[in-house]
Structure formats: C-alpha cells, structure tokens
Amino acid sequence: MKDYKDKVVVITGGATGIGFSFAKRFGEEGAKLVIAGRREDRLRQAKAELVAAGAAVEYFVCDVAKDGDMEKLADFAWSAYGKADAIINNAGISLTTMTAIDTPEEEIRRIFDINFFGVWRGSAVFAKRFIAQGTPAAIINLGSENSLFHAVPYGAPYVATKHALLALTESLREELPAFIHVGLICPGLVKSELNDPNFMALGMDTDKFTKIAMAQIKNDEFFIVSHGYNMVWIDKRYEAIRAAYTRYAPREDGDDVFDIRTMMMRLRGG
C-alpha cells in the first residue's frame, strides 16, 4: 500500500518506542490513527503529541494478552473511523536475561502471551475483518533480528517468540487473499523502553529506524530490515545448515519423494 493518506492504521504498543515512532510516520503520511496500549496516561500523552503534529488520532486501552481485547480494539477502530486499513502488531516485552533451563515457566508463558499470541490475536481478528471489507489492507508484525538468528544470549524465551512470529507471518502471507499485504519487521537493537535503559540507549535512533522501515512498508516488502551486519549471522546460520545437508543428506535424483510440499501438491492433484 504505497499511499496511506486517509487510511486507518491501528498500532498496538503505539504510545512509546517503535510503535509511537511509527504513529508519527503514518501521521505524516496523512493516515488516521488508532494507538493502543495498557497505560492510559502514556496513550493520552502520545495522542497529544501526535495531534499537535497535525495527525488525526484516537486511542484505546487494551492488553493484547487478554482474550477479547483485540476484538474490542477492532470494534473501536470501526466505530471511530468506519473502517481500518492496516494493523501494526507492535506490542511486545522482554525478560531479564537468564539461562533457558532456569527461566520459570510462568515467565515463558507470559512473554508468549504478549509477543506471540498477542500478534496472533491481532492478525486473526483484523484479517477476518479485512477479508469481509474486501479492500486493500496490511498486516505488519513486529518481529526482530531474532526472527532470523539467535542474537540474544541468555534470552531463549524472547528469541523463541520472535522465531515463532516468522512462522506465523509467513503462513499469513501464504494463506490470506492477495489484497492483504503481510510484512515482518526485523529490527536489530533500536532505542525503546523494551529493556534496561542503559543498554537500549546503545541502539539505533528510533525515528531513524522507522524512516528506514516505512519506505519498505510502503513498497509492500515482506522482510522489513535495517541492521546490515545481521547478514553476518544469517549467513553463518545458513552455511551451517547447508554444510549439514551437504555432508549427510545431499541432493539426489528423486529426493523430492519425501518433500512435504511436493507430496501435498500430488495429493491435491497439483
């Protein structure tokens, strides 16, 4: 969707950090905004700043981890503007770093409820309404460089949620109608309130990041990227995978007999 003027964009976690910076970007494009989050005081503050910059904004208090809250958010967007055209599933949290085996299960479930199931809920709720609406729309999920490789030592739960988002978002891209664009934002370290302030201060400037990402969103890219050095770790991962297959499972004639996609196509007569 190259033109967001008068489009309605819903952003979870839209009061701070990357979400708020995206709200500013979409506001500059002439979009009408619904920003959502758990803290009403921060939402009010964000709305005031966005309105002062000339944006049309409403806010809605919701928790992406709660059943029913994303339905309520969608109801609010359609009530406020009569439609929605894009959902930016941005809300997320991090955890204190610790070993995978020492992380309490309740903490793992908590981060999955927000980072993964919150995005799943947002995608499912808004996708169904976009399908019914029948007009060009977008679902953009906030993944991470951790969707593509393991960037955070002692951060297995966070990395696992971002790996899972890659699988979810790829499935959405394949399954949804062509008029619904699907994208995955894969930032590296960007200034936000996600983690320890001293550490986060080392990240890329938030507005610089969203400027890079916004150009890709408007170009309907799937992978929305920023930190070039990531390719060092991506290449390392796939070189290791390729080496394993080359040594122990090299390509040979007829090896597609066990390929899942090939088998499914044959069963369907494709």
Contacts of 90 (CB under 8 A, 6+ apart): 11, 12, 13, 14, 18, 19, 22, 142
Answer yes or no: 158 catalytic.
yes
Give the Cα separation of 232 and 228 in Å (integer): 8
Q: For residue 173, give the nearest of 147, 138, 143 by alpha carbon.
A: 138
Residue 79 class from Cβ within 10 Å (0-12 exposed, 13-18 middle, 19+ buried)?
Answer: exposed
Give the integer Cα–Cα distance in Å for 170 and 14: 24
Please give, one letter per residue, the 3-state secondary structure of 12-81.
ECCCCHHHHHHHHHHHHCCCEEEEEECCHHHHHHHHHHHHHCCCEEEEEECCCCCCCHHHHHHHHHHHHH
Report CA dihedral (45, 46, 52, 55) to the nearest 10 degrees: -150
Name the helix (H) or strand (E) containing 89.
strand 86-89
The residues near 268 (Cβ < 8 Å, ≥ 6 apart) are: none
Alpha carbons 58 and 176: distance in angstroms, whole number: 28
* Tokens representing residue 2 in the block: 């190259």
How is residue 166 written in tokens?
């890659």
Alpha carbon separation from 93 to 4, 63, 130, 136, 195 (Å, rounded): 28, 12, 27, 30, 8
Catalytic, out of 158, 229, 238, 245: 158
Residues annotated as catalytic (active site), given as ranges: 158
